[in-house]
Amino acid sequence: MCRKTLLTLAILATIQTAEASNITNNIMGVGPKDNPIQPYFCIQNADGQMTYALAPGQSVDGNKYSGNPYYVGATVRFGGCGANNSYLGYAGVSGGKVTYSPPQGVHVQWANAAVDGNGNLTGQIQYTPINPASTLSASFAPSHVQSWDFMGANLSGLEFGKMIDPVVVPNVSSEDSAGKLTDLNDTQSFLTSGMNTIRVPLHWGFLQLEGAGKGDLNLDYFNSYVKPLLESLTNGHTYAIVDLHAYMRYSVFGKQYAGCGPDGPCPDGTLITGPSIYQDVWTKLYTLIKNDPKINQNYIMFDLINEPVDAPDDSVFTVQAAVIKSLRDQGFQGYILVEGNSWSGLHSWTTKTWKSSDGKVTYSNATLFTRDNFAKAGVTDLSKILINVHQYLDSDYSGTHQQCLSNIWTTGPDGFNLNVFVDYLQQNHLKAIVTEFGAGTDSATCKDTLHNFLNYLKDNSAKDKDYGFVGWTIWSTGHGWGDYNLRVTPKSYQMQVLQNFL
């Protein structure tokens, strides 16, 4: 799932000159060292209208385009000068000096901002850490009334777009809770209502800037945004599902989406099938997490690959089996979630098939993810391995429509196949979790369907048996979603339905 930037911040720079002179955009950016993404300097006139898009490295007579012989006003943005390009704060440049204040509630800054005597704009864009929440906490219901171990929501924003956008990054910090870009109040409301789990999608291209399985992890991304969120959740006794939201693809920072965007393939990125590459990123990610004493390891869960698509042969299984063994060898004893081919759809788990490269074998998720195959791959303890499926409630199961299905009891290639999936779980003595499901804005058609789906998960929970559903996280929360049709808030009708099961 992907969203465009929703809010516009501006850097309003005022450059004082005695006469018309050139301005050169030499502000350094972020991203891969050999190809950083630098900001645009978008010159404005006195009415605030953009008059010239000064690209990185370019020079122009700023006074001419600002219409002022002494000052040049501009917005500074990533990727261009459109209203949807990320924007970053205000600054004033006068007499060869820069004054700058980062935007309130947005953790990014123009560090070492300066302008020299030749009109070169210098300094660099940097991400700044969010402080962990001090008050966030889950309130658990008594175990005898719980149907599931895990109940919650996705807190989206760390996987959006082609570049890290601080405007949509989840923020549960108490110090930022008074602004519009906070998730603290909504998240606490969900936890107070009885939820105990938050799924945190991450962007592989933001984690590894140098390429899939290459180089150290991007600490600017992890330390500024990922780390404080995991600390906040786990210290509040909330399970955090760390999700590599990658579709079995690596997406290049600044060039490709994680998932589907308005101007790229769906999903975007390069298909990666080498087990060692996934072991590399997960080994490094787990090392950062386990070495942080402020992250409560008892509340960390790992979702290895979000929604693989068109993975060839048996790679969707063998890759994740290899990562499970690697994480266990490192000492991780928590829950590990595995996902299947074809967007990991519950409805298609048993019915979607594909041929091996030589055409001799027909695969499905149901025939790959079996207890026997796990054992052959060296994964014998499945007590904390969960089959992770997704299920949207509209007519084509995509989550893109406002209306929902009226009948969730259908079977066959285009059916919902609820009972067939549960039969698969029972046959293999496996447990499942639904980490993405959602209902559109048409409550007239969706309210009953959402209730029926949750009721089915409850009737087929894994409580007191070795198969069934252990829980769910609805898609999705997060301030960056705006009016997105699947956004859930404490006041939305979806939450009214969920409340019946918390």
Mean pLDDT of the region 67-83: 84
Q: Which helix (H) or strand (E) holds 368?
A: helix 365-368
> Which residues is 340 bridged to in the sheet?
none
Residue 73: predicted pLDDT: 84
Residues 252, 214: contact at Cβ < 8 Å? Answer: no
> Which structure tokens are listed for 340?
């299947």
pLDDT of residue 23: 85
**pLDDT for 335 beyond 90:** yes
Burial 197-207 (b: 16+ CB within 10 A, else e): bbbbbbbbbbb
β strands within 290-445, DSSP E: 300-303, 336-339, 353-355, 362-364, 385-392, 431-438
State pLDDT tens for residues 144-186. Answer: 558 999 999 999 999 989 999 988 999 999 999 988 899 999 9
pLDDT given at position 102: 74
Write out pLDDT tens, residues 260-302: 998 889 999 999 999 999 999 999 999 999 999 999 999 999 9
Please give the full DSSP string across 336-364, using - where no structure is assigned.
Answer: EEEE-TGGGBSTTTTT-EEE-TTS--EEE
**Which CATH code of 1.10.10.10, 3.40.50.1000, 3.40.50.970, 3.20.20.80 fits the domain covering 146-499?**
3.20.20.80
Mean pLDDT of 329-353: 98
Residue with the two structure tokens 């205000």:
90
Structure tokens at 236: 């509040």
The verdict on pTM exceeding 0.85 is yes
Crossing angle of helices 315-330 and 275-290, in 10° steps, is: 30
Tell me, what's the pLDDT at 21? 66
Distances in Å between the Cα of 496 and the Cα atoms of 10, 299, 389, 487, 490 are: 38, 26, 23, 14, 8
Model confidence at 105, pLDDT cuts 50, 70, 90, reads confident
* Chain segment 226-245, per-residue pLDDT in tens: 999 999 999 999 999 999 99
Q: Where are the domains of the chain?
A: 22-127, 146-499
Going by C-alpha positions, the residue among 277, 281, 120, 262 that lies closest to residue 208 is: 281
Least confident of 59-68, 459-468, 488-497: 59-68
271 and 311 Cβ atoms separated by less than 8 Å: yes
On average, the pLDDT of the chain sits at: 92
Per the model's pLDDT, the better-predicted residue between 362 and 101 turns out to be 362
pLDDT on residue 140:
67
